[in-house]
């Protein structure tokens, strides 16, 4: 089953999609949006174009595990997305995915100061990799 991962942000949205076997996560183009409504429309379209059967939206929890303003905003986005598509949508802890993305880019010699879209796409890949590992571990059908 193909899964689309979403690293949601108010202006930029990182996307990644799994292969049909649910093993490999591949970055897609980062979306630049002006509103949450535009974001929901474009992410729903990306899910359809990539034949996703599930969407996972990153939930930026605080390090303590509590929900802050960013997590509440991501949950609102996930709800707006549910109104735009019939594809099942999960939220999933995305703590440290941006840091991991930046580290991976630095290891490849990429300067991330002007490559925020690459960081967002990499964060979506890290989110999807974690989600896929959780599925593969057999800890339930959905994390």
Query: Residue 109 — left, alpha, or beta (φ > 0 → left; ψ -120 to 50 → alpha)?
Result: left
Using one digit for the tens of pLDDT, what is the confidence trace for 24-62? 999 999 999 999 899 999 999 999 999 999 999 999 887
Which pTM was predicted? 0.82
C-alpha span between 9 and 32 (Å, rounded): 9
Please report the domains of the chain, with CATH numbers, ordered by start residue. Answer: 3-136 (3.30.420.140)
Q: What is the pLDDT of residue 60?
A: 87
Q: What is the pLDDT of residue 98?
A: 58
User: What is the DSSP pairing of strand 25-27 with strand 31-32?
Assistant: unpaired
Q: What is the pLDDT of residue 70?
A: 85
pLDDT in tens, the chain (143 residues): 899 999 988 898 999 999 999 899 999 999 999 998 999 999 999 999 999 999 999 998 877 878 888 899 999 999 999 999 999 999 998 865 555 555 665 566 656 565 565 667 788 998 998 899 888 887 655 54
Q: What is the pLDDT of residue 17?
A: 97
Q: What is the pLDDT of residue 68?
A: 84
Phi and psi of 141, rounded to 5°? -65, -40
Q: What is the pLDDT of residue 143?
A: 47
Q: Token digits for 53? A: 């059967």
Do the beta carbons of residue 132 and residue 23 sit within 8 Å?
Answer: yes
């Amino acid at each position: 089953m193909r899964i689309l991962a979403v690293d949601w942000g108010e202006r930029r949205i990182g996307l990644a999609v799994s292969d049909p076997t649910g093993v490999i996560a591949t970055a897609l183009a980062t979306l630049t949006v002006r509103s949450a409504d535009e974001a929901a429309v474009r992410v729903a379209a990306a899910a359809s174009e990539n034949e996703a059967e599930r969407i996972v939206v990153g939930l930026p929890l605080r390090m303590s595990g509590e929900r802050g303003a960013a997590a509440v905003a991501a949950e609102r986005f996930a709800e707006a997305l549910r109104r735009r598509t019939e594809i099942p949508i999960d939220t999933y802890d995305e703590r440290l995915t941006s840091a991991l993305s930046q580290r991976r880019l630095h290891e490849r010699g990429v300067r991330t100061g002007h490559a925020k879209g690459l960081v967002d796409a990499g964060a979506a890949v890290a989110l999807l990799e974690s989600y896929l590992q959780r599925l593969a571990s057999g800890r339930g059908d959905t994390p």
